[in-house]
Structure 1
Amino acid sequence: ILNSVFLAEAINKGLDLAIVNVKKIIPLYKIEPEDQEKCLNVIYNRGNENPLFDFIAHFEKKAGRTKKEKSPDESLSLEEKVKQRVIQGNKHDMENLLMTCLEQYNPLQVINEILIPAMKTVGELFGAGKMQLPFVLQSAEVMKFAVDKLEPFMEKTEEQSRTSMVIATVRGDVHDIGKNLVDIILTNNGFKVYNLGIKCEIETMLNKVDEVKADAIGMSGLLVKSTIVMKENLEEMKKRGYNIPVLLGGAALTRSYVDDVCQPLLDSPVIYCADAFAGLDTMSLIKEGKLKAPADDAERAGQKRPASRVARPEVREEEIDRNVDIPSPPFWGDKIVRDVDLETVFSYLTESVLFRGRWGYRRGKMSREEYDDLIDKVVKPEFEDLKKHCMDNRLINPLLVYGYYPCNSDGEQVIVYQPDSEEELTRLSFPRQKKAPYRCIADFFLPKENGVRDMIALQVVTVGMRAQEEARRLYDSNQYKKYLLFHGLSVESAEALAEYWHKKIREELAIAGADGATMDEFVVQKYRGSRYSFGYPACPDLGENRKLFELLKPERIDVFLTEEDQMVPEQTTSAFIVHHPQAKYFTIE
C-alpha cells in the first residue's frame, strides 16, 4: 500500500520512469482514504511526532482485525455494502441488501441517499483518471439492476418528479454510441431520459418535450454535417419560442462553435458537452436551478461570417510529379466480395485505437506498470474472448463492393468515365486549400488535357446489419459494458476491413512494394498513395458520397445512405483510393 501511494505521488510530481513489481501495485481508488492518509504522513513526514510508528500501529491493528474477519464486507454498514457493490460493479447479493435497506428507508431514499452517491463516486474516479469507461458501465449495470428492483416499491409520483431530458441523434445521423452513453450515465444518476434514437427530426424532439414536460434537450451527432443540423434545430426552436436548456455533443463539435454559433440563437443555455460526464454535470446544475446561459457578448458571438471564397491560385507551391506510371487494374467496373475471412480482418485492427479510443481503457493517473498490467490481464483476454464470440456466432460479417474506373482531373473536379467508352459517369468535386501549398485532391490525377487516362479505385465496406442489431440488443438488455465492447469492436472491424481491402487494391495494382510491415506503419500511411473518405478533412462534403454510391451501388450488400448522406449500417466505410505517391492526408481550412 505504501509503495502504491508513493508511486502515485511521484507520478503526480513528474516521475516518468520507474522499475516496480506490478503485482504489488494497487490502484488508488482501491485503497481506503484513511490508509492513504497514513501513507502520505510517512512520505511527507507530517502528522504527529512520529508518523512511521503511527503508520505501523495503524496497519498492525488493521492486520489483527482482518484475521478475525470472514470477509471485507462484514466491517461495513449496510449502506456502505450497497455503495461498494455499485462502485465495484458487483451484483452479488445486491437484491437481498436492497430488501434489507427497504426495512429502514423508502425506495427513493435508497436511490437518492445510497445509490446515487455511489455513482457520484464512480464519476469522480473516472474524472480523476482512476477508473476506465468499461468499469464505469459495469457500475451502471449494477445501478440499473438496483433501480429496477426498487421501482415496484415506488409511488408513481416519485417516478414522475425526476429531472428529465429528451435526447436524440439528429436528423440523418445514424451514430448512437455517444448518445447512449449519456443515457446510461444520466439514468443511473437519478435523471429521467427519453431516448428517441437516431435520425431524429426536431419536430419529434419538441413533441416529446411538450408531452413529458422535459427540463432539457440533448442533441448528438458524429460528423460535421450534424453540427449544421443542430444549428438548424436551434433556429427552429427559436422560431417556435422554446426556451429550455440544450446540451450538444459529438465528435465534430467544438466549444467555440457551440459558444459562438449556437448559443446566440437561443436565450436559454446551449451547452457544449465533451462527454457523458459533462452532460451529467450540466443536468445536475439544471436540477439545482444553477444553470445559466453564457453572458451575452456581441464580440464573442462575433458577427462571424463564412470566409469568402478565394480564387484558385495561378501558381501552386506544391508541384505534382506527372511522370508517374499509371497502374493497370485487374478489371474495370465493380465487383462484390462476400467471402472475406474475419480472422484476417481482425489482424488489421489497431489495438491502441480500439482499447483506448473505442473502449475507453485510458491510462489516466495509473502508472505505466499498472496500465500495462490492466491491458495484459483484463483487456486483452476480453478482446480475445469477444473475437471468438463474434466468429462463433457470425455477429460480424465482412462484405464489400469495390471497383476501378478510368478518370482525369478537370480543375477541382475528377471526371469518372465509363470503362469502355468516353462517357462521363460522374464528376467528384473537391475543395482547395486557401493557403500554401494550395492542395486539392484533384491535383493528384492526370489533367484531361494530357490526353492520357488516369485511374481511381473505389470501395464500400461493411460488417453487416447483424452487428448493428447485436449492439442494439445488448443496449436494450442493459448489458452496458458488453454493449460498449461489442460496438467498439464492430466499428473498428469496419475500419480494419477498409484497411485490409486497401492493401488488396495496392497488391492488385502492383504498387504494394512501398508498404510498411506493421499496422502502426499503415496508420501513418507508410504505403503508396492514400485512401480518402468524404466527410473528413481533405474532402469534407459528405454529399459527394452519393456519387460514389451511384457508381458502386452498395445497396446490393445492404448498405444505404440516409437523407443526410450518412451510411447504414453504422459499421460501414466508403472511400476512394488515389495511387499517386504524393497523395497523403491533409486538411482543408
Structure 2
Amino acid sequence: VKAGAHALDICLANPDRNEIEDIKQFLPLISRNIKIPLMIDTTNLEIAELACKITAGKMIVNSVNFEFGEEKAIKAIELNRKYGAKIVFGLIDEDKERGIPILAERKIAIAKRAYEFMVKKNNFPQDDLIFDALVLPVAVGGEYSRSALETIKAVGEIKKLWPDIKTILGISNVSYGLNIRAREVLNSVFLHEAVKEGLDCAIVNIEKLLRYSSIDKMEIELCKDLIYATKESAAKELSDYFKEKKEVKVEKSGNYTNNEKIYFNILNGVKADIEESIREELKIKSPIEIINGPILKAMGEVGRLFSNGELIVTEVLSSAEVTKAAISVLDPELKKNKNSNRGKILLATVRGDVHDIGKNLASVIFESNGFKVIDLGIKVPAEVIVEYALKEKPDFIGLSGLLVRSTEQMSLTAKELSSNGISVPLILGGAALTEKYVINNIIPVYGAAVIYAKDAMDGLNKVLSYLSGDKISYSKGENLEVKENKVAVIEALKINSEYYPSKIAVPKDLKRKIFMDFDIDILFENLDWPMFNFKFLRAGPANKFKIKELEKTLIEFKEEIKKNKLIKAKGVYQFFKANSQNNSVLVFDENENLLTEFVFPRQQSGKFLSIADFVSPIEKGQRDYIAFCAVNCGENLRENISLFKEKGLYVKAYLLESLSLMLAESFTETLHFHIERDWSLLSENSYDSSSRPKLKGKRYSFGYPACPDLANQAKLFSLIKPEDIGLTLTDNFMMEPVAAVSSFILHNEKAVYFSLCLNLKTFFFIVEFGRIFAFFA
C-alpha cells in the first residue's frame, strides 16, 4: 500500500487452514488499517459474501466464471444487488475438453455470453463488471507460446465492444517458470503492452514493478519477442540472457545497498522507504555526499529521460516529490553546513506578466537538484529584482515571461541589473523569447554571462554545464551574428466586402449574463483532453500507456477538486450592437450610444484581411451584433498551489494549475455555445455532452494572430465588467488570475482565422499560449 497500490487483492484459501475463520479474524484488522478498496479472491462465494458483510465500502469479488455453469454468476449478481460488490468475471466456461481458453476468439465468445447473461438478461451494472481475459505462462511453450499475444488481443477487443466495462489481468502469470530477474522485466513489459491495448487494472506486486523507461532496450526486445511469438527460441533467449546477467535494475531488493535504493526510488518516483534509506545512509555518509551521489545521479537520469521524451511531466514531478522527501530528512544536517547546496538561484516572472506554471516547474526541478531557490513570484518590477539580487547575492538569476511585452521587460531588467553592478549569470526563457532576441536585445545591455533556455530541464542542464566550465552562455562583446529585426508597418490597404455577413443574427436580448459557480462537471466533460496531454504532460500518442496510467490519478484528483472547491468557474458575457468602419469595429449600447471603438490591423499582403471585414459596415444602415465574454477559473489558485507545494505534493500542484487553465478554455467554449444559442444559431437541445456542438461563428482573443494588441483588453473590461467575477488587468493588460480567458464572438459564418504575418512559423512564438514548458513562463 505504501508503494502506491490502488486496491489490495486478498486470498486466504489454504488447504491447511479454515478460510472462514481466517476471513473473520483478518479482514476486520486489515479494514481498520488500510484505506483502499479490497478485492477478495476466492472460489467460494459464501466466503465472498462474508467478506462483503465484514468490510466497509465497496468490495471487489474475484474468481467468478462459467466453469461450473451459471450458478456462480447468479450468486455474484445477488452480491452486487445486496452489497454493491464489483465482480471480476474470468473468461472460462464449462468446456472441459478444450480447457482454459487460449485464443482471443474463444475468450471473446465467453465474454459475449457473460455480457448477455449478466447485463442484458439480469440488468447487472456495466460499471460493476470487470472482465479477466486470463494470463497464462508464455515461456512454457507449446500451445501457450502465443498465449500472451492472444490475451492482449482479447483485451483490445473487449474495450472495442464494451468501452464502459473494465478489464483486469493477473500479470505475474505470464512469466511463470522463468528466473526471478527475468520475471520482473517480462511482467513490466507485458503490462506496458497490455495497457497500450486498453487494459484498465492489473494485479501485480507493485514493489517489483519496473518503470518501463528504466528497462534496458535489449531486454525489452527479448520480452517482446516472447510476448508476440516472433521467434521460436524467444523463451530460451530471454532465460539465457538473465542467467548470464548479474544485475537487473529493480526498485527495491534486499540485495541492494541503501545508496542504490535511494537512486532507484527517485528514478522511479516511489516514496516507499525513502526516508528510512536516507537515515541508514546518513550513518556512513555526510548529507552532501548523499546529495551529490544517488540523489543528483537519479535526477540527472530523470532529466535525460524527460529530454528524450521517455518520461512525461507528472513522472518528473513524482521523482521530484521523492527527492523532496529525501531532502527533508537531510535538511537538519544540511543547515549545519552553509556550503551544502550547489548554489542559489533567484527566480521571477517579469513585470506585468502573471504566468508562472513553467516557473513553478523550474523551481521544483532546481530545488530537487540541490539549489536554494528564492522565488519572487509574478509581476516583479526590475527594481525589486535588483533589490533582492543585491540583498541575497544569488549565483544565478532566472527571468521569465510569456508574451512579447514580457521580453521587453527582460531587456529592461537586464539593463537595470547591469547598471547596479550585478554580474551573475542571467538565465532567460519563456514562450515569447527566442535565442535571436537574447542575442539582439539582451546580450548588448548586460555585462555578464547570459544563458538562453528553451525549457525548465534545458535550463537546469545548462546551469550544471556552466558550473562545470562548459561554454553554454553568451557575453557582451562576443562576435555574434546579430541580424536586424525589421518590423513591417501594416497599413489598411484593402477592405474585403465579400466577407461581410450575408444576414444579421439578432440575439434574444442585450442583458449581461453572469455565472458565479458554473457546473464544473460540464467543463470536465468538455475539456480537450488530447490538448491537455500535449500542452501540460508533453505526451502525445506515443505516450498512450503513460496517459492511461495517469487516468486514475486524474479521476481521483477531479473528485478532490469538486469536494474541496479547489476550482470555481465564474463567467460573464453580453451582446452589443456593432458596425464596422474601415479597420474599426464600433460598439453601441441598446440606446444607440457609441461605447467604444476597436481598431484592428490589416494584413499587408495576401487577402488583406482585418477582423473589421467580418462585421456589417455602418454605411449599410443596419446594426450588426457582437458578443464579449470572460471566464475565471483561478480564484485562490496560487494559495492552493502553495499549500500543495509546501506538503511536497508537486504533482497535485502542477495538475491543479494546468487543469485550471484548461477548464478556463473549456468554460469559454461552453459559453460560446450559450452565446450561439442566444443568437438562435443553435437549437436549445443541440448540446450533447458526449460530443462538442459544431459552432457556426468565430471566437477571437486579444493577443493572438488576428488581433495582437493586448491593450484592447481594457476596452473589453469597460464593456462587460469582468471585475465582478474576480478578474483584474496588469500594467501590460494581462488578466489575473492567470486561469482566465477573454474573447469576442462574431456570428458571421464567413469569418475565418488568420494571421497578420503570413509566415506563421516566424511569428508562431508570439501567440502560442500552449508552450507552457518554456523556461519559467
TM-score tier (shorter): 0.7 to 0.9
Alpha carbons of 1:434 and 1:251: their partners in 2 closer, same or farther (altered >3 Å)? same
Give the 3-state SS of the residue equivalent to 2:254 in structure 1: helix
Aligned to 1:414: 585
% same residue: 32
User: How far did residue 402 of structure 1 move?
Assistant: 0.9
State the match for 1:335 in structure 2.
513
Contact 1:269 1:293 in 2 (8 A): yes
Equivalent-residue separation in structure 1 for 2:505 and 2:672 (angstroms): 15
- How far is 1:379 from its partner? 2.3
**Local SS of the residue matching 2:526:** coil
2:727 aligns with: 559
- Say whether residues 1:59 and 2:237 are aligned partners: no
Are 1:424 and 2:594 an aligned pair? Answer: yes
**Deviation per residue, 1:192-215 (Å, 9 max, x gap):** 221111111111112211122212
In 2: Cα distance, 1:20 partner to 1:400 partner: 37
Whether 1:404 aligns to 2:575 is yes
Tell me the residue number matched to 2:559: 388
Of the three residues 384, 387, 395, the one matched with 1:207 is 387
Mapped partners of 1:342, 1:20: distance in 2:
27
Equivalence for 1:220: 400
Aligned to 1:11: none
Does the CA-based 8 Å contact 2:426-2:450 persist in structure 1? yes
Report whether the alignment pairs 1:497 with 2:654: no
Amino acid of the structure 2 residue aligned with 1:463: C
Is 1:344 the counterpart of 2:515? The answer is no
Do the aligned partners of residues 120 and 298 (structure 1) sit closer, same or farther apart at CA in structure 2, a change above 3 Å counting? closer
Equivalent-residue separation in structure 2 for 1:33 and 1:505 (angstroms)? 53
Shift of residue 461, structure 1, vs aligned partner: 0.8
Aligned with residue 548 of structure 1, among 690, 699, 716: 716
Deviations 1:285-312 (A, max 9, x none): 23223345447577732233433x2432
Cα distance in 2 between the residues matched to 1:55 and 1:556: 66
Q: 2: distance between equivalents of 1:205 and 1:520?
A: 48
1:509 is matched with 679
* Residue 609 (structure 2) aligns with: 439
Q: How does 1:468-483 map to 2 (within 5 A)?
A: 468-483=638-653
Match for residue 482 of structure 2?
Answer: 301
Deviation at 1:521, TM superposition (A): 6.8
Q: Which has the higher contact order (CA 8 A, sep 6+)?
A: 1
Per the alignment, do residues 160 and 100 of structure 1 end up closer, same or farther by CA in structure 2, a change over 3 Å counting?
A: closer
Q: Which moved more, 1:289-298 or 1:346-355?
A: 289-298
> Contact between 2:500 and 2:613, CA under 8 Å: does it hold in 1?
no
* Per-residue deviation, 1:420: 1.2
Q: For the residues of structure 1 that align with 2:297 and 2:479, how far apart are their CA atoms?
A: 40
Residue correspondence of structure 1 range 37-436 to structure 2 within 5 A: 56-60=239-243, 72-154=252-334, 156-159=336-339, 162-291=342-471, 293-294=473-474, 300-307=481-488, 309-314=489-494, 319-322=497-500, 324-362=502-540, 368=542, 371-376=543-548, 378-421=549-592, 423-436=593-606
Does structure 1 conserve the Cα–Cα contact (< 8 Å) formed by 2:500 and 2:616?
Answer: yes
Distance 1:20 1:381, change over 3 A: closer
In the other structure, the counterpart of 2:39 is none
Q: CA deviation at 1:518?
A: 8.4
**Structure-1 separation of matches of 2:395 and 2:490:** 45
Query: Could you say if the C-alpha distance between residues 328 and 298 of structure 1 is closer, same or farther in structure 2, counting changes exceeding 3 Å?
Result: farther
Q: 1:585 to 1:26 in 2, by over 3 A?
A: farther
Q: CA deviation at 1:38?
A: 8.2
Tell me the distance in 1 between the aligned counterparts of 2:391 and 2:251. Answer: 50
Contact 1:531–1:575 (CA under 8 A) maintained in structure 2: yes
CA distance in 1, matches of 2:221, 2:511: 70
> Counterpart of 1:12?
none
- The range that moved more, 271-280 or 243-252, is 243-252
Task: Give the 3-state SS of the residue equivalent to 2:512 in structure 1.
Answer: strand
After TM superposition, give the deviation of residue 122 of structure 1 in Å.
1.1
Corresponding residue SS for 2:498: coil
Residues 504 and 212 of structure 1: CA distance in aligned 2, closer, same or farther (over 3 Å): same
* More displaced 10-residue stretch of structure 1: 252-261 or 199-208: 252-261
Q: Deviations over 1:376-423 (max 9, x none)?
A: 3x22222222222222222222111110111111222211112213x2
Residues 571, 632 of structure 2: 8 Å contact kept: yes
CA–CA distance in structure 1, aligned partners of residues 239 and 266 of structure 2: 31
1:14 is aligned to: none
Greater Rg over alpha carbons, structure: 2
Q: Map Cα deviations across residues 406-465 of structure 1 (whole Å, 9 max, x no partner).
A: 1111222211112213x2111112111121111111111112222211111001111251
Q: Is the 8 A contact 2:258 2:278 kept in 1?
A: no
**Structure 2 letter corresponding to 1:433:** Q
The amino acid of 1:380's aligned partner reads: E
Determine the C-alpha separation between the residues in 1 that align with 2:296 and 2:608.
54
Partners of 2:332 and 2:501 in 1: CA distance: 75
Any residues of structure 2 matched to 1:446-461 within 5 Å, and which?
446-461=616-631
Distance (whole Å) between structure 1 residues aligned to residue 408 and residue 501 of structure 2: 42
Shift of 1:500: 0.2
Residues in 2 aligned to 1:19 and 1:397: alpha-carbon distance in whole angstroms: 36
Question: Does residue 1:577 correspond to 2:748, yes or no?
Answer: no
Summarize deviations over 1:60-86 as a string: whole Å, max 9, x none.
4679x99xxx99511212210111111
Distance in 1 separating the partners of 2:641 and 2:605: 43
CA displacement, residues 299-328 of structure 1 (integer Å, 9 cap, x when unaligned): 732233433x243214x5x55343522111
- Residue 449 of structure 1 aligns to a residue in which SS? helix
**Paired amino acid for 2:214:** K
TM-score after normalising by structure 2? 0.65
Structure 1 SS opposite 2:427: strand
- TM superposition score normalised by structure 1: 0.85
Q: Show the counterpart of 2:214.
A: 30
- Say whether residues 1:486 and 2:669 are aligned partners: no
Mapped partners of 1:128, 1:401: distance in 2: 43
User: Are the counterparts in 1 of residues 499 and 613 from structure 2 also a CA contact under 8 Å?
Assistant: no
Alignment check: 8 A CA contact 1:269 1:292 kept: no
Moved more, 537-546 or 236-245: 236-245
Deviations 1:264-297 (A, max 9, x none): 3324333321211111012112322334544757
Contact in 1 for aligned 2:350/2:378 (Cα 8 Å) = yes
**Aligned residue type for 2:285:** Y
Letter in 2 for 1:147: I
| Cα distance in 2 for residues equivalent to 1:236 and 1:73 | 54
Please give the alpha-carbon distance, in whole angstroms, between the structure 1 residues aligned to 2:451 and 2:570: 40
C-alpha contact (below 8 Å) 1:167/1:218 kept by paired residues: yes
Q: Please give the alpha-carbon distance, in whole angstroms, between the structure 2 residues aligned to 1:260 and 1:400.
A: 41
